[in-house]
Amino acid sequence: MSDLFDLSGSVAVVTGGAGLIGSSLCEALADYGATVVLVDVDEAAAKDVADSIDDEVVVKIVDTTSQSAVEALFEDIVDSFGSVDTLVNAAYPRNENYGRRYEDVSVADWEENIALNLNSYYLTCHSAVTVMQQQASGGSIINLGSIYGVQAPDFGVYDGTDLTSPVEYAAIKGAILNFTRYLASYLGEDGIRANVLSPGGVFADQDPQFVAQYESNTPLSRMAAPEDFKGAIVYLASDSSGYLTGQNLVVDGGWTIK
């Protein structure tokens, strides 16, 4: 293992760590030596993920939209491990109406879904930064974006299916990009780096017609697997990206080049 990618002795906090992408990110960070704090609201799923990873993974059941819960989480992590070296935001809190077509999205749902997600990112970043600013080593913040944070959805890939790309998703993922750039600019003097990892579409047993239409528009001719983001997360968390900040690393099989 190259020292540039070695995360031994570091502490990585992953919100949404029990999710499809988050679980793979936890595994990658643990494989390269980090102590992983897996944060999620689904206790059963979180424990299953932790049990499936041989390396040290600590499960914390926390609502990342709650200021008091997030602040208590980071206090607990510092008390237990002494540092927060990496924060990965992969959580995606949303209400029960999320996923409706544009015409059916109420103002109340628009406001709630945007607030839930962006507040989660803000709260976790704010608490992590409070810790990282006291560390000589600074830290690395990695926020999960999306291809639909940098370009408009291609609604043709949803033709003939019940699927769509929610309007809140575009607003949230676009906002995450510039929020992260703000953090990179503001926190650079503290040695804190902030970057975005933007996945392309991930296969999750979607409607076969959607999958075929999506893959026909992707240069690599397939949807992503969760494992496709492992290398990117280790790169962004480790010293191998020590001079990289304020950037958006798009891992999408070439989708956004078209």
Q: How far apart are CA 38 and CA 70, in angstroms?
A: 13
Q: Which residue among the candidates 92, 158, 169, 235 is catalytic per the annotation? A: 169
Kindly calculate the radius of gyration of the chain based on its CA atoms and give it in whole angstroms.
Answer: 18
> Is-contact 145 196, C-beta < 8 A?
yes
Q: What is the DSSP string of 93-156?
A: ---TTTT--GGG--HHHHHHHHHHHHHHHHHHHHHHHHHHTTSTT-EEEEEE--GGGTS---GG
Pick the closest to residue 89 from 26, 14, 7 (CA basis). Answer: 14
Pick the closest to residue 29 from 10, 3, 51 (CA basis). Answer: 10
Pick the closest to residue 209 from 158, 166, 155 (CA basis). Answer: 158
> Is-contact 45 18, C-beta < 8 A?
yes
For residue 63, what are its two tokens? 């609502």
Q: Which residues of 115-129 are buried (b: 16+ CB within 10 A; e: fewer)?
A: bbbbbbbbbbbebbb
For residue 150, what are its two tokens? 């940098």
169 is catalytic: yes
Pick the closest to residue 73 from 85, 86, 61 (CA basis). Answer: 61
Q: Is the dihedral of CA 217, 16, 149, 167 positive or negative?
A: positive
Catalytically active residues are 169
